Structure 1
Amino acid sequence: MNFLKLFLRSIALLPGVIQGTEALFGAETGEQKKKAAVEIVGAAINITDAVTMKHIADSDKFTQGLGMTIDGVVMCLNASLWANRS
Structure 2
Amino acid sequence: MDFLKLFFRSIALLPGVVQGTEALFGAKTGEQKKDAAVEIVGTAINITDAVTKKHIVDADKFTKGLSMTIDGVVMCLNASLWANRS
TM-score normalised to the size of structure 2? 0.98
Partner of 2:65: 65
Equivalent pairs, count: 86
How far apart are 1:35 and its partner, in Å?
A: 0.1
CA distance in 1, matches of 2:77, 2:21: 13
> Structure 1: where are the runs of 5+ without partners?
none
Counterpart amino acid of 2:48? Answer: T
CA distance in 2, matches of 1:48, 1:2: 15
Counterpart amino acid of 2:55? Answer: H
Moved over 2 A (4+): none
1:48 aligns with 2:66: no
CA RMSD of aligned residues (A): 0.8
How far apart are 1:27 and its partner, in Å?
A: 0.2
Partner of 2:21: 21
CA distance in 2, matches of 1:57, 1:19: 29
How far apart are 1:9 and its partner, in Å?
A: 0.1
Partner of 1:38: 38
TM-score normalised to the size of structure 1? 0.98
User: Identity over the aligned pairs, expressed in percent?
Assistant: 87
> Structure 2: where are the runs of 5+ without partners?
none
